[in-house]
Amino acid sequence: MEVSEGAFPSQADKRLHRIIEGLTFAAGDIVSPAQIADVIAEVTGGEPPSEEEILSAVDELNDSFAANNRGVRIQKWAGGLQMTTGREVAPYLKTFREQTHERRLSRSLMETLAIVAYRQPTTKPEVDYVRGVDADYALRKLLGMDLVDVVGRSDSVGRPMLYGTTDDFLTAFGLNSLDDLPDLREVEELLDDPAFDKERAELLMLRELPVSPSVNGNEEASGTEAAHGSNGAVTNNSGQE
Closer by beta carbon to other proteins, 71 or else 223: 71
DSSP secondary structure string, the chain? -----SSSPPHHHHHHHHHHHHHHHHH-S-B-HHHHHHHHHHHH-SPPPPHHHHHHHHHHHHHHHHHTT-SEEEEEETTEEEEEE-GGGHHHHHHHTT--S-----HHHHHHHHHHHHH-SEEHHHHHHHHTS--HHHHHHHHHTTSEEEEEE-SSTT--EEEEE-HHHHHHTT-SSGGGSPPPPPHHHH---TT--HHHHHHHHTTSS---TTS-HHHHHHHHHHHHHTTT-----TT--
Contacts with other proteins, residue ranges (CB under 8 A): 25, 28-29, 73, 75, 82-87, 90-91, 93-95, 97, 100-111, 113-115, 117-118, 129-134, 137-138, 141, 144-146, 168, 172-175, 181-182, 184-187, 190-191, 193, 197, 200-201, 203-205, 207
Find the shortest distance in angstroms from Cβ 132 to other proteins.
4
Closer by beta carbon to other proteins, 37 or else 184: 184
Closer by beta carbon to other proteins, 37 or else 145: 145
Find the shortest distance in angstroms from Cβ 228 to other proteins.
15
Find the shortest distance in angstroms from Cβ 141 to other proteins.
6
Closer by beta carbon to other proteins, 9 or else 79: 79
Find the shortest distance in angstroms from Cβ 87 to other proteins.
5
Find the shortest distance in angstroms from Cβ 145 to other proteins.
5
Closer by beta carbon to other proteins, 6 or else 91: 91
